[in-house]
Amino acid sequence: MASPSLRCMVTALRSFLRFLHATGRTPTSLVPAVPALKAWPRTTLPSVLQARDARQLVAGCDTSTPSGRRDAAILLVLLRLGLRAGEVTGLGLNDIDWRCGEMTIRGKGGRNDQLPLPVEVGEAIAVYLRGGRPPSSSRCVFLTVKAPIRPLSPDGVGTLVYRACERAGVTRVGPHTLRRTLATETLRSGAPMSEVAQLLRHVDQATTSIYAAADAQAVAALAQPWPGGQR
């Protein structure tokens, strides 16, 4: 896979060649003469949190305060359901079916999916709705805690996760790392790839295979011994 410095060099060279052609210094554009760099698949393991550190994120929330109740509910939604930040902020009050124990997730491309509502997640959301969510005409579940009260943004979810990491004393990660953590832990528990793909709502199962690489032990088990060497 091409290094970042080589990619920068190619980009700069192409920009220079475009300049030469645009200013009439070369009669034709020489940009096509610069070969494209090969883009290899991911060669590094995606980052995930250990299960212990993930639990610490939730445990670090002060649920005696409105903001702590909200943060705990959001972290559990991220960790137990693997939602994207935008899906968390797009969750509406009408999307939760308390009787059936389901949630409607409005994902990419206008796709809607029904997911089971885990008891732990449902309880955390209920605690927030009863004693943490400020009065508002908005139908979004998660709101800001300071005026002006408005729906929480995806960037706000990211900031919330960063602060939770700081409180818990773990490596600073973003919301998508919690999604990868769920995928990895589900695979480690013995679930097939198809089940993880369904959990994450991937249309293409090949996308899910990226998350499998996060399990270093599982990847190492697939390695074959080098001919004439020792494993």
Tens digit of each residue's pLDDT (9 = 90 or more) over 98-114 = 999 999 998 777 788 88
Q: What is the DSSP letter of 38?
A: P
21 is catalytic: no
99 is catalytic: no
With cut-offs at 50, 70 and 90, classify the pLDDT of residue 221: very low
21, 55, 163, 176: which is the annotated catalytic residue?
176
Indicate which residue of 70, 80, 201, 211 is catalytic: 211
Q: What are the pLDDT digits (tens) for 113-167?
A: 889 999 999 999 999 999 999 999 999 999 999 889 999 999 999 999 999 999 9
Catalytic pick from 84, 133, 180, 201? 84
The overall pTM is greater than 0.85: no
Integer CA distances (angstroms), 161 to 5, 169, 186, in order: 31, 12, 21
